[in-house]
Amino acid sequence: MSSQSEFVAATDVLASSVLGALDGTGDAVQLARYVDDASDTLAALAAVRVLGADALSSHLLAGDPFEAQDAAVVTKAFEAFPASDALEEHAVDRRDWATAGLLARLTGDDTLRALAAPPADEAELAGTTHWQTWSVRMAQLAPLATLGLDGPVHDAARGGALPLSRGVSRSILRRDFPTAVRLVRWLAWLHHDGTELPLDPALAAEHLWLVGGAGPRAALDLAIAGHLLRRRPGTGTKAART
């Protein structure tokens, strides 16, 4: 049986492959080939499930072709690791919603949205008074900060530019670089969307690349942020609500 450490290792391998496709150092990501070539199929499916929307990044941001067999692998990953209905899994529900929505968009098959139900409660994202807690929740939702998605979480980000910027500064000071990297990704998305920001996301991303972007997951978040930052500010196209 696959162990947790094998799941983590497989996720890092897949994240590195997506990163290579985004920065031009590797080939386009083919999820079906990745799973077929893996020595541990279950761990490879877990990696697809964990990365979720981020596994689709090179297709969304770099225009790599997305094949039908790759969509089948994402569906199989959902089947192998079904969603939990636990209250603490709200962030997972939202990330699953993002994955299913992007998969439907890439394939043109709207039935794939049924892989994940829309999150039931968005009220917890509305208030930013307790910005420390709120920014941590937004960091957990960083995979939604990409092209092709728009919804209540994105509206919360638009209304929370200052708390997100505070969250970046606080996380850097606390040396919590993974959280800081994810929040910078939201700032990059807001930059692309045209929101005025109190913190320069490009400078923050450069700093984090130097001090906290060495791991595959952090490097992938920063690469996605970089793609968003290189697009002209305010040119983000709001996707249809999914």
pLDDT tens figures, 159-171: 999 999 999 999 9
207-223, pLDDT tens digit by residue?
Answer: 999 997 679 999 999 99
Mean pLDDT across the stretch 116-136?
Answer: 82
Question: Alpha carbon of 102 to those of 108, 115, 127: distances in Å?
Answer: 10, 11, 27
Burial 3-17 (b: 16+ CB within 10 A, else e): eeebbeebbeebbbb
pLDDT at site 123 = 67
Q: Is the pLDDT of residue 87 over 90?
A: no
The letter for the amino acid at 175 is R
- With cut-offs at 50, 70 and 90, classify the pLDDT of residue 180: very high
- With cut-offs at 50, 70 and 90, classify the pLDDT of residue 241: very low
- With cut-offs at 50, 70 and 90, classify the pLDDT of residue 242: very low
Chain mean pLDDT for the chain: 91
pLDDT at site 86 = 54
Lowest mean pLDDT among 45-49, 85-89, 119-123, 229-233: 85-89
Whether pTM exceeds 0.95 = no
Alpha helices in 29-143 (DSSP H): 31-37, 41-51, 57-61, 68-80, 90-107, 131-140
DSSP 8-state code for residue 66: -
DSSP string, 163-186: HHHHHHHHHHHTT-HHHHHHHHHH
33-65, pLDDT tens digit by residue?
Answer: 999 999 999 999 999 999 999 999 999 999 999
Q: Is the pLDDT of residue 26 over 80?
A: yes
Q: Give me the torsion for CA of 146, 148, 153, 158, rounded to 10°.
A: 80
pLDDT at site 127 = 80
Listed by start position, the domains of the chain span 1-121, 130-242
Q: Is the pLDDT of residue 146 over 70?
A: yes
User: How many whole angstroms separate alpha carbon 115 and alpha carbon 139?
Assistant: 23
Three-state DSSP state, 196:
coil
Quickly count: other Cβ atoms within 10 Å of residue 90's Cβ: 18
pLDDT at site 233 = 81
Q: Is the pLDDT of residue 29 over 70?
A: yes
Q: Taking Cα atoms as reference points, which of 76, 32, 71, 54 lies closest to residue 148?
A: 54
29 Cβ contact list (under 8 Å, min separation 6): 14, 17, 18, 21, 55, 58, 59, 64
Contact 83, 116 (CB under 8 A): yes
